[in-house]
Amino acid sequence: MSRLLDILGCKYPIIQGPIGATNSPKLVAEICEAGAFGMLAMGFISNAEEAKRLARDVRELTDKPFGANLMTMNPLNPEILEVLAESGVKTVTTSAGSPRNLYPLLHELGMKGLHVMLAFSYAVKAEDAGVDGLVVSGAESGGLRSVNPESSNMILVPLVVDHVKVPVVAAGGIADSRGYRAALALGAEGVQVGTRFLASEESSAPKAWKEAIINCSDGGTTLLPLGNMMMRVIVNPKLKAQMSDPETDLAKEYNLMNVPEAWGKGNFDLFPAGAGQISARIHEIKPVRKIIEEMVS
Ligand SMILES: Cc1cc2nc3c(=O)[nH]c(=O)nc-3n(C[C@H](O)[C@H](O)[C@H](O)COP(=O)(O)O)c2cc1C
């Protein structure tokens, strides 16, 4: 068994990329049942009870191990970690900030953690902070991105692999067996997959979101500025018009706080649909079991 599979406790080294405000216990459970590692997203959770309920809902659907993602800046993290540990969660990922304060508690609770990082310098710091593994998320990935210049996975994954001792997972641009094998060839021990699972049959994303991914062509995503961060989103007609207007300050037009409503209802004028560059290679909504079986074939 690889070091990563030892940490995750599943059959295949494939992690479900957590998707902000979008949680579907059914999707998490299906991914686990198909041999990969399902993940809940705790970034937008407003109380620990909600975390407990989500973990319980997953547990009712599968007895396989699953995980959860925590945003480091969430003040509720200690409570969330405790309810997750009580619910039997043994592995979490941490993202969007320094892992230093979270890991002592996480380890005290008997958990392991993989830290998500977007640039080489953060990988070295995270390893130094005691993380058990790293999720390396290149510029092509969906989700929150940095305002600093970024490298894509072809560069970032081997760069990090060559400098750290902990297992590395590649996130971004992976939707099929070619992407999966390429990530392993670059030295990653596993992959994290966001957009492909978002456009799956079991995903609770509204139809409009899945269709936006399927209809997205090459170059169809952009980095939406949000102050000190960016978000990779699919360009829609409203956003396209705003982008060509030099008077429009996009950071003032879109508020991250509107993400739960916008993505939950498919209202992409309120906040554009989040997705990775890999959308250009996703043409069909498929069941997760089929996606996973094809990926490891
Ligand atoms: C819409 C969207 C929301 C995301 N939200 C989170 C999040 O809350 N926490 C996190 O660690 N990663 C988040 N991610 C990143 C994914 O978990 C995953 O690493 C990324 O999507 C991988 O790139 P891919 O979309 O090319 O597969 C998000 C990605 C997308 C597309």
**pLDDT tens across 170-221, in order?**
999 999 999 999 999 999 999 999 999 999 999 999 999 999 999 999 999 9
Q: What confidence score (pLDDT) does residue 48 get? A: 93
What's 169's domain CATH number?
A: 3.20.20.70
Strand order across the 143-146 sheet:
143-146, 229-234, 221-225
Q: Which secondary structure element, helix H or strand E, spans residue 60, and what is its range?
A: helix 48-61
Q: Which atom of ligand 1 is nearest to the CA of 174?
A: 27
Let me know whether 76 and 32 are in one domain: yes
Q: Which atom of ligand 1 is nearest to the CA of 196?
A: 27
Which residue has the least CA distance to atom 21 on ligand 1?
194
Let me know whether 141 and 20 are in one domain: yes
Let me know whether 259 and 271 are in one domain: yes
Ligand 1: residues whose CB is within 6 Å? 17-20, 41, 43, 69, 93, 95, 116, 137, 141-143, 171-174, 192-196, 274-276, 278
Let me know whether 118 and 14 are in one domain: yes
Q: Give the residue-averaged pLDDT of 233-262.
A: 96
Count of domains forming the chain: 2
Let me know whether 21 and 129 are in one domain: yes
CA 115 to chain centre: 11
Arithmetic mean of pLDDT over the chain:
96
Q: What angle do CA 191, 194, 196 make, to 5 degrees?
A: 100
Let me know whether 103 and 233 are in one domain: no
Let me know whether 192 and 225 are in one domain: no
Which residue has the least CA distance to atom 1 on ligand 1?
274
Paired sense of beta strands 143-146 and 229-234, if any? antiparallel
Let me know whether 77 and 170 are in one domain: yes
What number of H helices and E strands is found in the chain?
Answer: 14, 11
Let me know whether 274 and 287 are in one domain: no
Pocket of ligand 1, candidates 28, 193, 195, 222: which has the most ligand atoms within 8 Å of its Cβ, to mutate? 195
pTM value is 0.98
Let me know whether 246 and 172 are in one domain: no
Let me know whether 168 and 191 are in one domain: yes
Q: Is 90 exceeded by the pLDDT of residue 21? A: no
Residue-wise burial string across 125-156, b where 16 or more C-beta atoms lie within 10 A, e elsewhere: ebbebbbbbbbbbbbbbbbbbbeeebbebeeb
> Domain range for residue 48?
3-204+281-295
Let me know whether 159 and 21 are in one domain: yes
